[in-house]
Chains A and B, each alone.
Chain A
Amino acid sequence: MSAAAEQAVEPVAGSGGHGDLPATGKLDRFQYDDAIVRAFLAITVVWGVVAFLVGLIAAIQLAHPQLNLGLPYITFGRLRPLHTNAAIFAFAGNAIFAGIYHSTQRLCKARMFSKVLSWIHFFGWQGIIVAAAVTLPLGFTQGKEYAELEWPIDIAIALVWVVFAINFFGTIATRRERHMYVALWFYIATLVTIAMLHIFNSLSLPAGPLKSYTIYAGVQDAFMQWWYGHNAVGFFLTTPFLGLMYYYLPKAAERPVFSYRLSIVHFWSLIFIYIWAGPHHLHYTATPEWASTLGMLFSVMLWMPSWGGMVNGLLTLRGAWHKVTRDPVLKFFVVGITFYGMSTFEGPLLSVKSVNALSHYTDWTIAHVHAGALGWVGSMVFGVMYWLLPRVYQTGLWSPKLANMHFWFNTVGLVVYIAPIYVAGLTQGLMWRDIDESGQLTYEFVETVNVLIPMYWLRVIGGAIYLGGGVIGLLNLIMTWKARPTTYDNVIIEAAPLARTFQDPPRPTSRVGTQAVLNTAHGFDVWLQGWWHRRWERLPLRFTVWVAITVVVASLFEIIPTFLIKSNVPTIATVKPYTPLELAGRDIYLAEGCYNCHSQQIRPILAETKRYGEYSKPGEFVYDHPHQWGSRRIGPDLAREGKINPTPIWHLRHFENPEEYTPGSIMPTYSWLLTSPLNFDVIPQRMTAMQTLGVPYTDEEIEQGIQLAREQAESIAHEIEKADGTTGMADKQVVALIAYLQRLGTDIYATAEPEPAAEEPVAATPGEESPQEPTVSAAMPRSH
């Protein structure tokens, strides 16, 4: 094209941008794909109501355990993962996709790359959610928090995520706006990091069509789990919603973000620092102290970039606060961003070890989670929803009044939810650690449960109000949809394509001039002028690579030492693999979701060792695929259960009717365990999988696995019959679970087997002492 032709053409405002040559005069004409946005938006609210309802049921079950109805499919242990998966992946996930599909097209001035991929993404994701809704109540679970879904569903998640990534990056590649607005950076960080987290945390070895074991064990599994768990919060519940905030808040407020510079700084700080925060879930556990300290330090630092986002969001409304009172969208956003600020201050606070010593395992963590999930995520979702509704359905919002009412149900409901649970959490923590004048624990565990029941009922009220708000939102969506035009207006968008020969601004020259300095100084001054970063913001591939490097480097700094430093997990000679029956029992423990109420990790805290026994050692968990340390104590810790409650008959009767054995217990009945047959046939297959993962089962043990399991089951059943005459338990699931519970925490008290042949003693150099064998102290077991 001649220079004269270029100059003859008027440049199109807003297209290309700095450095683009004037347009050729031919504008591209295209349409945005809002059908996919409508689909994701509608299903968001449907799944939201489902997630809130399941959460409400779970909340009622804690206050009124009879609501477990004696049915295996709806026990708290199976419903809670359904609730968390629905809230995170179904509700928040679909909302993210709705917002990303809508905003990306407009920021790129390009239609989504592929309509086919859009719909594969949509139906694939809903298929995953339905699969979760079916498998989790049936007890098919990997037993890893927020990653419970079994291996076929994990593979489906990875595939659908790849489809999403191709569609998203394809749209970026075909964009007509050269600069990538900051919202797109947050979406890129989400895509890259979630892929990394999901793939590495989900690595597992199948042991059946819907059964697998994670490749990690014990300490390393705990580490991977919370590297994943906290960054799922960071990169699924934070970064995409920050991206949505950076697009929809300016749109709703009709003003640009307060500080674009701040958005750049807080973006890079956030994605680098977030990755390190995972170990703050493991303070005072059997993970090495360096990991715990690192997690704490970076969690505290994380406060700064998080508040960068909050400040940027709230100050965007500078001069526009009068609009907030009139617009429910802005009301939702203000509450959302405020709760983001509160949660991202509280998070670092909870990460401080001394605070965590009080809060860990208590309901304070739950209050924190829900302040973030209901306050930040929920409010942002509904704010975006109300902004989108009239636009994507091309009609007025059916009822602005109901939207305002929803806002108040949302806000009041979430405050009524979290306030009593904060009180509950502090109450638990303080009661657990209370020691009287004689140096004994003041409260039995069940006393600390019963005192919380009124707070649990208040939570039910808060949750019901929040659910009511969700139902109002769903009603508004349905009625707005009903009022849509018969045929949608296919709005044609005109925008100039990016010039093929984009001319980078000339490399700046050194400002140091002719002074007598080294060439290095000239080069440094040129670098300081930042021309290279302006190029990055126009180069999505290079940008994505640097995002990936940022999150991967941060991850490797934490993970490599965990796996390569031997001293992190000292070996304990008396720790042996589970017997075949105990392994079967462990699988039942996972299937029933016992970790949702019970922890298996005694911290070296006086009140804890007095209540539960010797604190947990890293070497005790080397064969635990997955670890079951848990993060809640709705029920007592079980790490030394084999020492505290060694009798089978206690467990049998306790499973049948927990409240009869522990008055005031809120544990539901598990009476079906006494009648459901144990599947002995799968035991060799599961032992083989464990052997592949490094558990030292011999081939002979695997071959005899069924027989060994039956023998141990007969022995336990015989003890039960001797105790109270109950017969017929030898082939029931309950004996396997009893065998597993009887094993917990007992290995460190076992006697080490003598060495087969004595070695010649090493002669000590004069002045040196002979090496001493480490001993494991055996604290006296206590009742709960």
Chain B
Amino acid sequence: MGIKGLMTYLGMETFGLVALVICFAAFVSIVVRVVLKPQREVDRQARLPLAPDDEN
């Protein structure tokens, strides 16, 4: 059974399931990481465009 046959046999449900799990896991990881960031660091990073430069 070649790769085409294997993919046809597995069907799209498997693909969809795998995609959903990966997507959800990635999203949860990102949210967790963001929530745990120290506030001081977040504030500093948010203010980067406001750092003094040649503009008035």
Contact = CB atoms under 8 A, between A and B. Distances in A.
Contacts of B1: none
Contacts of B23: 272-273
A181 B8 contact: no
Interface string B1-28: 0011001100010011011001100110
B34 A564 contact: no
A600 B41 CA distance: 55
B37 A530 contact: yes
Nearest to A251: B49
Interface string A365-380: 0000000000000000
B26 A268 contact: yes
Interface in A100-158: 103, 106-107, 109
Contact of B7 (A109, A391, A550, A560): A560
A25 interface: no
Interface residues of A, number: 50
Interface in B24-42: 26-27, 30-37, 41-42
Interface residues of B, number: 36
A553 B22 contact: yes
Given A107-B49, A177-B48, A528-B32, A557 B19 contact: yes
B46 A260 contact: yes
Nearest to A256: B46
Contacts of A550: 26
A500 interface: no
A255 B23 CA distance: 33
Given A290-B12, A528-B32, A530-B36, A491 B54 contact: yes
B28 to A, nearest CB: 11
B30 A265 contact: yes
A32 interface: yes
B53 A493 contact: yes
Contacts of B15: 290, 557, 561
The dominant DSSP class at the A interface is helix
Contacts of B3: 564
Given A251-B49, A256-B46, A564-B7, A294 B34 contact: no
Interface in A556-586: 557, 560-561, 564-567
A18 interface: yes
A528 B34 CA distance: 10
B48 A254 contact: no
Contacts of A326: none
B50 A261 contact: no
Contacts of B44: 17-18, 179
A75 to B, nearest CB: 42
A711 to B, nearest CB: 40
Given A290-B12, A553-B22, A557-B15, A256 B50 contact: yes
Contact of B50 (A250, A290, A391, A553): A250
A257 B48 CA distance: 10
A533 B33 contact: yes
A493 B33 contact: no
Given A251-B50, A256-B46, A264 B7 contact: no
B8 A264 contact: no
B7 A561 contact: yes
Most buried by B among A290, A560, A565: A565
Contacts of A269: 27, 30
A493 B54 contact: yes
A184 to B, nearest CB: 10
7 contacts: A109-B53, A181-B45, A257-B46, A272-B23, A272-B26, A288-B12, A294-B16
Interface of B: 3-4, 7-8, 12, 15-16, 18-19, 22-23, 26-27, 30-37, 41-55
Given A103-B49, A561-B12, 14 more contacts: A32-B54, A251-B49, A251-B55, A254-B50, A256-B46, A256-B47, A268-B30, A272-B23, A530-B33, A534-B41, A557-B18, A564-B7, A566-B4, A567-B8
